[in-house]
Amino acid sequence: MEKRFLIADDHTIIRKGMTVLLRDNFQNCTCVEANNGCVVIKQLKEQTFDLIILEMNMADVDTLSLIDWINTNNPDARILIFSMHASAHYGIQLYRKGIRGFLNKSCSDDEIVQAINLILSNRIYIPQDLQDVMSDMLRGKKKTENNFELLSDREFSVSQLLAQGKNYEEIARILCIEVSTVRTFKTRIFKKLSVNTTFEFLSLANAHYNIFL
């Protein structure tokens, strides 16, 4: 049966490479590319896909909010996160939102195909680094204290954008909120992380949560 894939990434070379890989491994598949969040939403309003392969840090969209939109408007959608960062950094939060898999962009072609086949069979793919984190949590062990896990989804999104160097106006536009709301979120974030300055925040993000950078 023909499979339909939506490949969402703001890097052309990633989209083209994934398209080639999918066509080599899934006979007669259809691959549709999206270079930003708006195109993702447009495509999902017009057609259905067997799998959405989604970059975590597209510049124009808050990915957590996009996942929420997909879950609300396409509840049967399968989402595979394809990111340059390790799943252990924020994978648990994403799996709680219902994604079916997470892959680091440095993984092998074989692992990509394995993960996709697993997801298409209505199973969940969990990479080894995240399995290790989950195992430690189940045994009551935690390697490092990570206060970023205390943040709400929206606080997490604001933190991500702040650490990427976005100003208040840019964050407000991306998240569709008021500038004053961004300032309020920043205050809450700094309090939860026990930091007082932007330098302290960026240092903490780099040390414990380098997905932002």
| CATH no. for 4-136 | 3.40.50.2300
Q: Are 50 and 120 in contact (CB under 8 A)?
A: yes
Architecture of domain 147-212: Orthogonal Bundle (1.10)
- pLDDT at site 60: 78
Residue 10 and residue 191: Cα distance in Å, rounded? Answer: 33
Burial of 128 (0-12, 13-18, 19+ CB in 10 A): exposed
- pLDDT at site 160: 83
What lies within 8 Å, CB to CB, of 50 at 6+ separation is 3, 4, 5, 78, 120
Q: Where are the domains of the chain?
A: 4-136, 147-212
Residue 206 and residue 8: Cα distance in Å, rounded? Answer: 26
For the chain, 213 residues long, give each residue's pLDDT as a single digit of tens.
Answer: 789 999 999 999 999 999 999 999 999 899 999 999 999 999 999 999 999 999 987 877 888 889 999 999 998 999 999 988 765 556 777 888 889 999 988 899 999 999 999 999 999 998 887 777 666 666 665 554 567 778 888 888 898 888 888 899 999 988 888 999 999 999 999 998 888 888 788 877 776 554 444
Tokens representing 81 are: 């996160």
